[in-house]
Structure formats: structure tokens, C-alpha cells
Structure 1
């Protein structure tokens, strides 16, 4: 078998369903399997998988064992020569695995491979490619100092370029199963956050190279994976402490300075998070990209909103601000959806997607908060 896709899920049933639908389409023609590891979700995630995807391997944990252990569980039963670690709040284009595997097969020194990630607003997620968070790098990030040589994000490579980077994000990581096991996979000392930095670093130390493919765009809602609350901040900065303890034991002076800086940043971020005020815009227009008149009528009735039909060929000709765009994945491919989002981003526009053959639309207006789901099968809104 060529590829095993491991999807770790926790309480994001709707987003998981979209993820699986896009992954299945992208795996057509590839000898592959999908393995879902559920970390004791309290929603209907497992029931949904059994109903809509009964052929998929589902591991149901009796407790939330964290990111590292759950993914290691998935890889342990994987049959593919390659594994792809994937978040459930991901939507992939049809060519993602074909192009990734073609590139991977040309690199004998491949550690892990990552792609260009965008959030629900169409904006690039800079954590798609990062540098090793050495003390000076982290110091610059904490203090806000701009530095090309010692930046936290790998700004030396453009977001649409292909090249070597030090650290990839765990939301999408593709690597050989043998290499994953050679470096003992994700370190289970990390419960959540920091595991991808640690794995990337272990691969480099083992003599491998990590590659970033900026010509492949993948949607990562991000806010669905975690809510940016005090628990998140505690785990994230705790992960940084673990990383330095494991890999920078000899650099005690810098380590102490970074620990102090991290503690200060933790306090500042908690303050910012608790004092932030969310804002929402009132769209002037509502556009639906679909050729299904029945769907348009059903959604208009359920939402009580007048929807304007827009063709996929015309979407990049629209110079519209403060509008609401709904993309029907039965009509327009995810690759074209991502291109349209890129064209229309940062203009006050909002984006939602109807996954293939689904009675709901989903999206997210911030990579720091959970997204919205409008389930029009029962005319209800879920957040």
C-alpha cells in the first residue's frame, strides 16, 4: 500500500466529514487507506463516521490521550509506505496526495513534507514553514524583533515556493512510515502543541531534510482544532519548556532567558485573549456558486436570505467588498475555491463551503476561534 492518511479527531464532526470527503476524492487512483483516531469525542463524530464512512478504520479511544499518542496509535496500524498526519479541520484539493507523493519519491533524504496552509479567511498561515525555535529565534518572536536570519517563521522562502525548511506544522505532515518509526514518531511527553516542532527537529538530527511545497494549497480552519483559551496557552508554552529541556540542555543561560520571555508572553497573550472583543460584519450581498437551483431555493428558505447565483467562471471577476460567498463543492473544485478565497480575501468578505452531497455549510472567520456550521437539513445553526 502506498499511503495511509491518519486523521485525529476531537469533537468536530462536521469538519471531519468535510475532511474525509476531500481526502477520499484526493486518494482516487492511489493504493491507500484512511484511519481515523477519535480522542473520546462527546459529539456524534464516531456515529457520523460509522454512518457515512463505514469502510474507514476507526479507533475509538476511551479518553483524550493527546495529539502525539493518538497519532502514534494510527501509524502503528498503518499499512502504507507513507503516512500523512492530518487535522480534521482540513480540506484538501484533489491533487494534494498525487503531487506530494511524486515529490517525495524524488527525495532519498526526505524527512517530512508540508504544504501551504490557508485559514478560513483565505489568508496564509505562516506556521506552515518555520525555523527551529532556538533561543535567539524565540527571543525575536517574543519581543517582536524582525529578523530574516533569526525569524520564527521561515520567511527566507516565499509562501508559494518549494524548498527546505526546518519545521513543518502537524496539521499536514507526510513522511515515510519507516522514517516516522525510526525517530519514534511524535514524542508522547507532549500532550498537545510542540509535537510537530519536536518531530521536525528529530528528523533533522537523524540526517533527513524537511521540505515545503508552496505550490499546493490546503485549507486549515485551525480554530476548530483548538480554542485559544487559557488552557491552550498553558499547553502551548508548556510544550516550549519541554522542547528546550530535551534539546537545549547545555544552553542554560539562553534557556533561562527564553523561559522568562515565554512566561511574559503567556501572561500578555492571556490578557489580550480575555480583553479582546469580537466583531462581525453585515454582508451587503450573498453569493452562491452552484448550478443546483433546488439547493439555492432550499438554502435561501432555510437561511431566510436572498442568495444571488454566481458562476465559477465569474467569481474572480467580481470586485466585491463585504460580501458572503457560499461555494458548492458539487459545482466548484476545492482547488478553485481556494483560488477564489485568495482573490477575494481581506476585503471584508466571508466564505462558506458546502461539502459534496451535504446538507450543511461550514466556515471560519478567524483562525483563533471556532467556526460556524449551518445545518439546513434541520434548519439549525451549530457553533
Structure 2
């Protein structure tokens, strides 16, 4: 493993980790630029120290020197972790989690645009609610539609219908999927405590909670590592959905990424249900 470090000082209030494998360069650049804007808003709100980024290259990262220079100009230090190969999403983040963290640590996908006010609002909420160990935001898609990424505990049928059936057939399961996606309780204005499962594309943890959990379970290469971590978080702290914190997600499901992703999805689902219990229908 090769680590190249540019530090922004001895203390940072927020650390963030982004794991990449052959990423879309433009989306990654947008993610990093949005992190810089959110950090600037955080500083203006006088909410503590700097932001530090751990960028974990699982392979194929393009030249991001311009974006990293822009982060440095914004006062965001970064640590580049590379040379270990494609070890998977969770293990990649665990490299960062084993390093010094801020008071809060952000698990962030490389296809997320952070609203400029998101970090300031998130820290304001977390500081006011010490019982909260994990915060998930309102997540919107490219069409500015709310994504329902808080979940009930899944059944195999839920996963198959949502992930692999065409839209015309999924309509037959509308009520079932609405329950699984918590559509009656998730909206753009009401805070919701203790959703069972939240998305791994943006997870803001108290770092002491994340360290206590030892980060992600490394047995998952891709998919379900966020389900696993969400459920384990409930054992040590509360989870909260805060719609005042907003992000934009350019994401896609496993079935739209080819047969290799479908296989990884199935393998991870098997590991998840073996650990937490099988629910079929």
C-alpha cells in the first residue's frame, strides 16, 4: 500500500473517505468540488475545524490533480491510499477508518453531489442530538426526484422485484415495494428516527461509533455492506434520516451494470441473509 499525505493541520472536525474503481472522472470531479463547497459553508458557520479527505484508489483512478489542487486551495487536506488493488468497497473504506479520523466521518460515494449546506446542517443536527450515531440525508436523483433509500429489512422477493423485474411488471408489486422503501414515512421535510437500513452512498458517522463497529464487514466485496453496517449500528447508537441535509446521487442498480454485478449482488445477498436471517416472502 502506498500512502501520499497532504495534511491540513493537526486537527480536522470532519474526515471523509471516497473509494474509487475506474470511476467516471467528471462525476468524481463534481463530488470533490461539492465537498469543497460544503466545507466552505461549514467554516462560515463556525462549526469547528477543517475537513480531511481519504481517497482510496482500488484501481483505475484517472488524473485528479486539478481537483485535488482545488481541494487544497479550499483548505481540505487529503490522503491518497493506493497500490493495494481492487479489494472491494467496504475494505477500501476500512483503510481510511483505520487512520486518524475527525469527530465525524463521512462515507461518500464518488457519484454524489453534496448540497453546499449539507455538512453544516448535518453537524448542527448531530451536535444537538448526541444519541445519533449515523445520519442519512434526503437523496435526490438527476431528475430532482427523492430516492427512497431508507429500507425495511428485505425479503428475497423484495430484492428480486426491485432489482431485476422490468418496470411494467414491478407495478404489480407497488404496495409491497412502497412498504420496503418506507414511502409512507420518508419525505422531504420530516426527520425519521431509526430507519432499519440506510444507503451507503452518504453515511455520516460519529467516528467513535464507527470505530466501535470496526467499520465495514470485509466479507462483502460489493453490495449489502451498507445494509450490514446499518443494522449493526442500531446495536450501539441511533440512526436518523434528516431531510434538511440534501445530496444528489447519480447511481444505478446492479441489473443495469451487467452479469458480473448481478453475480456479486447474489453472493453478497447470500452472506447478508446467512448472517442476519432469511426472509423469503
Coarse TM-score class (shorter-chain normalised): 0.7 to 0.9
Residue 26 of structure 1 pairs with residue 43 of structure 2: no
Tell me the distance in 1 between the aligned counterparts of 2:80 and 2:67. Answer: 8
* TM-score normalised by L of structure 2: 0.79
2:223 aligned residue (190, 193, 196): 193
Equivalent residue of 1:114, what SS? Answer: strand
Query: Relative contact order (alpha carbons < 8 A, sep ≥ 6): 1 or 2 greater?
Result: 2
The correspondence of residues 1-383 of structure 1 with structure 2, limited to 5 A, is 1-10=12-21, 11-28=23-40, 29=43, 30-31=48-49, 32-41=51-60, 43-49=61-67, 52-53=70-71, 55-127=77-149, 129-133=150-154, 144=173, 146-147=175-176, 151-160=179-188, 161-164=190-193, 165-204=195-234, 206-223=235-252, 228-248=257-277, 255=278, 258=280
* TM-score normalised by L of structure 1: 0.59
Equivalent residue of 2:179, what SS? Answer: coil
Structure 2: runs of 5 or more not aligned? 1-11, 164-171
* Distance 1:232-1:136 versus aligned 2 partners, 3 A rule: closer
Tell me the distance in 2 between the aligned counterparts of 1:241 and 1:140. Answer: 17
Contact 2:254–2:265 (CA<8 Å) still a contact in 1? no
Tell me the distance in 2 between the aligned counterparts of 1:14 and 1:62. Answer: 24
Equivalent residue of 1:4, what SS? Answer: strand
Report Cα offsets for 1:18-73 as digits up to 9, x if no partner: 111111111121422122111111x5245555555464221123311111001111
Corresponding position of 1:381: none
Tell me the distance in 2 between the aligned counterparts of 1:26 and 1:145. Answer: 36
Equivalent residue of 2:34, what SS? Answer: helix
Contact 2:254–2:261 (CA<8 Å) still a contact in 1? no
Equivalent residue of 1:17, what SS? Answer: helix
* Distance 1:145-1:93 versus aligned 2 partners, 3 A rule: closer
Offset at residue 199 of structure 1 (A): 0.3
Tell me the distance in 2 between the aligned counterparts of 1:196 and 1:58. Answer: 23
* Distance 1:166-1:87 versus aligned 2 partners, 3 A rule: same
Contact 1:12–1:45 (CA<8 Å) still a contact in 2? no
Query: Which of the two has higher C-alpha Rg?
Result: 1
